[in-house]
Structures are given as structure tokens and as C-alpha cells.
Amino acid sequence: MEDDHHTVDLADAILLLESKGEVEVFLKDLCTPQEIKALKERWRVCQLLERGTSSYRQIHSITGASLTTIGRVARFLKDEPYCGYQTVLKKLKTEVQNE
């Protein structure tokens, strides 16, 4: 599938980035400000859901994310097979423990 090939190309490009600064400027070039805002919002929702201490309505109040977005992030965090959120959350926990 051609789209899968382009996803792999994008993943390869991201893996070439060596610093937070490089990631930031790449995202600014790649995404619109609104797309970056949406990515940041989803990541914040993910972090709050992982903590498990806030309801969807509280997360909405904190982040401004719609209940639909919160539900989608929750589904991908817990039910979908990709485990992208879980992978990054585990790596961040390991990083914090190693500091």
C-alpha cells in the first residue's frame, strides 16, 4: 500500500532527529499551528488518562479537549493494538526512574 510506504518514510525521517530542538522545528515545518495544538492536546489527554485520577469532564476542563477526543485517546490508550501511547509512556517512566 502506497500510504504505508509514506508512513514508513515519515517514521524514518523522525528517527533521524537528534534533539528536542530538531523535533520542534521539524514539527513546525510539517504541521500547521492548529495541528501542533491538536497533537499537544491529545498527548496531555493521554497523560491525564494514564494517571487515572481525572474524569473525562475534568480532563475537558483542564485541556479544552472535546469529550470525543478524550474518548478516542482513551480507546487508543487501552483498546487499540498499536500501543504507541503505551510505548512512549513506558519509555518516559523508565527515563524518570534512571535519573
Q: How does 23-46 read in b/e, with b if 16+ C-beta sit within 10 Å?
A: eeeeeeeeeeeeeeeeeebbebbb
Would you say residue 2 has pLDDT above 70?
Answer: no
Segments making up each domain of the chain, as ranges:
1-30, 32-99
Is the predicted pLDDT of residue 1 greater than 60, yes or no?
Answer: no
pLDDT tens by residue, 26-63: 999 999 999 999 999 999 999 999 999 999 999 999 99
Q: Does residue 52 come out as left (phi exceeding 0), alpha (psi in the -120 to 50 range) or beta?
A: left
Largest interatomic CA distance in the chain = 42
